[in-house]
Structure 1
């Protein structure tokens, strides 16, 4: 029997995740996931690819979404009263134009100090409308693409074996920044072929493979680049047909609801892997 063994949401894109025992699944993914984003003064999104110190920022959102607290070691925490009605400003996410609501000068100053680069914090506006791509279209906030990133424990364990065969230590699972980790599938990469998932009253549809980037080489505890692993090892057995290194899968939300660690996962439709 397969079950959910870990849930995490990432309130601020690129920053640390928040593990939870249960979560509300909205059309855009786990509640509050990637609902905030750090941008340059010009509105271009910041990412661990260029700003690995984002990993040091540990945000938490209150359940009603009205307050966001930012924490980082060696720095006083900052609580932001979330603005959902302020003026919109243009932001750039992978070259695509979106809107954001600036969360004020104290948040900007706090992030600029931690990151060592002048930054602003924006929130997804209530009217945010984004259609994500893949086999099952959906929506998301400021995520790279689809609403949910799913990976199985068997997939992570196979990578650890491949790393060990090359004389390398295992890589922490938080390098992959998954929303849902599933245990109980015997075969690694079953998430590639599980095209419809039922978790409680929530239904998810497979969108596409998760193509990995340099973020997987950032130590999430120190905010420093620690490559070349795991990408060097993954390149030996997980190259996608259309290019890139695939590890995990992206899903769209078909039916929102609540999910929890321990929930049974049922595959209601299977498909062929795109690898």
Structure 2
């Protein structure tokens, strides 16, 4: 029986996730998932790609307050602004605005990153439609509401990495929201089209093309490449460019999910060609930066 093995939401885009035993699923994904993000004064999005240290930031949603912590730095806690001054933001074929948060947060992130930075949150009127086989909505995730990966996919990848004398990687390198256990074959998430867990229903949007973020150690905030991108490139290349791991999904029916819930797939596609034999070598620099971080 397939079941949910892990649930994680990421309050601040590109920062550490919060593992929870249960979660509300909204039309835009898990509650609190990527509802904040860090930008420059010019509205450019700041992520782990140029700033891997963001992985060490531990955000916590405490009711109407947000707490930020990181190794060697004082915690900062401030009231979440649900409405207020706006900042423009552009991402993944969407142009919109975010609500400026507390100046304490701006100062805290600016000091951490060594450059001017501002923290924004989703605005009350936030409306963002995502595309894919099943369209949906999203907050500040790069492309879609939910990222799903399976334990069997990671096990298969790590077997290949070990065979090449590399060090296995943990699941947090891929920053999924739902981790599924119980599928015997790897990458079954690529083939699921409509699935339910708890009282929520999800629909396949597309396979997740990975950028270089999986080469960042999520505990230390340091680049630890070339794995897993190097090994994924031998058997998980995508026709669009880059390598794939995990499936992006839209929320078809909001609800509640919990660790241990059975995952029921109501419709499948045919076998994914990306699970076939190994392909020619591929360089990590060619990855398309299109994943939810």
Query: TM-score band, normalised by the shorter chain?
Result: over 0.9
The number of residues matched between the two structures is: 273
- Mapped contact 1:216–1:230 kept (Cα < 8 A): yes
Residues 274, 249 of structure 1: alpha-carbon distance in 2 compared, 3 angstrom cutoff: farther
| Residues 104-136 of structure 1: CA deviation (Å, up to 9, x unaligned) | 211100111122221000001011111111100
Q: Structure 1 CA distance, aligned partners of 2:273 and 2:190?
A: 7
- Mapped contact 1:209–1:274 kept (Cα < 8 A): no
1:209 aligns with 207
Q: Where does structure 2 lack aligned partners over 5 or more consecutive residues?
A: 275-293
Alignment of 1:117-196 (within 5 A): 117-196=115-194
Q: Structure 1 CA distance, aligned partners of 2:273 and 2:122?
A: 31
Q: Structure 2 CA distance, aligned partners of 1:27 and 1:181?
A: 19
SS of 2:209's partner is strand
2:75 aligns with 77
Q: Structure 2 CA distance, aligned partners of 1:96 and 1:274?
A: 30
Q: Structure 1 CA distance, aligned partners of 2:184 and 2:257?
A: 22
- Mapped contact 2:15–2:55 kept (Cα < 8 A): yes
The alpha carbon displacement at 1:172 in A equals 1.6
The alpha carbon displacement at 1:166 in A equals 0.2
The alpha carbon displacement at 1:192 in A equals 0.4
Q: Structure 2 CA distance, aligned partners of 1:121 and 1:100?
A: 9
Which of 85, 90, 93 pairs up with 1:92? 90
2:227 aligns with 229
TM-score, normalised via structure 1 length: 0.97
- Mapped contact 1:5–1:262 kept (Cα < 8 A): yes
TM-score, normalised via structure 2 length: 0.91
1:116 aligns with 114
Hey, which bits of structure 1, 4+ residues long, moved more than 2 A?
92-97, 272-275
Q: Structure 2 CA distance, aligned partners of 1:179 and 1:274?
A: 24
| Residues 70-104 of structure 1: CA deviation (Å, up to 9, x unaligned) | 01111111112011110212123257422011102
Q: Structure 1 CA distance, aligned partners of 2:7 and 2:198?
A: 14
Q: Structure 2 CA distance, aligned partners of 1:77 and 1:28?
A: 28
Q: Where does structure 1 lack aligned partners over 5 or more consecutive residues?
A: none
Which of 91, 103, 106 pairs up with 1:105? 103
